Amino acid sequence: MEYKSLGRTGIKVSQFCLGAMMFGGRADKAVSIEIIDYALEQGVNFVDTANGYTGNESERIVGEALAQDGRRDNIIVATKFYMPQGDDINEMGISRRHIVKACEDSLRRLKTDWIDLYQMHRSSAVIPIDESLRALDDLIRSGKVRYIGGSMFQGWKIVESLWVSKELGLNRFICEQPGYHMLDRTAEREVIPAAATFGMAVIPWGPLCGGLLTGKYTRDSGPSDGRWQDGKDNANREVTPLAWDVLDLLRTMADEKGCSVSQLALGWCSAQPGVTAPIIGPRTLEQVTDNLGAVGVALEAEDFSRIDALALPCSATVAYYDKARGLDLRAHDHRIVL
């Protein structure tokens, strides 16, 4: 396992981050803790969750697992806020009121006194970013949060947040969490270059395109319990003919290297310029074992060229990123009241 600097901070994180979106949902508590234990044994020291995952259960499981044997002190814990936390209209979003309460609730569920990385799960055009940054700055100064970041911010939104922080003398974002994989390289256009320019870490979610890049799907078949059925996933994203061609290439390359398709896809993502730590989201012990096997996958310049020839840089073979930004896009339509 290699370790990289988390942006301009002084801390090091493992080259893969363990994502906890499945914990308490498709992965029950016992399996989730087994996955965490295995990942930590393999050298992972970076865990990402959110208060919007599985009705808060993901945070509770992560908190319980890390409370064992004093392991919390050695792990970089990241969580996120934004998603609705109840029926009250103010129990969501990026207002000061919600941020402060969401942080207190996450701390309690995570069984910790501090959150290493507290991230805005989405941005909003309805609430000025200065209100959010002031609240986050207060949390840092109080010792409840160490660093802050964003998720699914466009390039201009990243720059806006940094400008406001500078103008008001506030702590700034140190990382961005975009959706990014070889079938949707939209983030290479502005998001990743913006992050690199300003010394921000990039921790991509969905590096396996919701399972499509595992190799378990073909043009004619796939697992009945998978996200992709009849050429579409559960968010109505569509597989394109070119995407199947890319998968054919990956199967050939994986056979040549003696690795799985998912390991090849994760190795590719980890090696991209500007990327700090792709977030894996396993729901079984077999999946986390396979995913972390990507640590030993070496790609040469010729490998990147073969992939680039089909999955073009800055392009979207599958429209994944934009469809994941539904809340953010909706918020930018001022005709809609949230």
What residues act catalytically?
A: 53
Bridge partners, 119 (sequence order): 80, 149
H-helix segments, 173-270: 191-197, 241-257, 261-270
Longest dimension (CA), the chain: 56
Label residue 74 exposed, middle or buried (CB < 10 Å: 0-12, 13-18, 19+).
exposed
Q: Tokens 């499509």: give the residue.
A: 212
H or E stretch covering 46: strand 46-48
Cβ 171 vs Cβ 148: under 8 Å: yes
Cβ 283 vs Cβ 18: under 8 Å: no
Residue 27: partners with Cβ closer than 8 Å, 6 or more residues away = 35, 282, 283, 284
Label residue 316 exposed, middle or buried (CB < 10 Å: 0-12, 13-18, 19+).
middle
Q: How many CA atoms lie within 13 A of 188 on its CB side?
A: 16
Cβ 98 vs Cβ 91: under 8 Å: yes
Q: Which tokens go with 69?
A: 């044997």
Bridge partners, 145 (sequence order): 115
Cβ 115 vs Cβ 107: under 8 Å: yes
Q: Which tokens go with 303?
A: 């490998």
Measured between its terminal Cα atoms, the distance across the chain in Å is 43
Alpha-carbon distance of 280 to 241, in angstroms, equals 26
Residue 286: partners with Cβ closer than 8 Å, 6 or more residues away = none
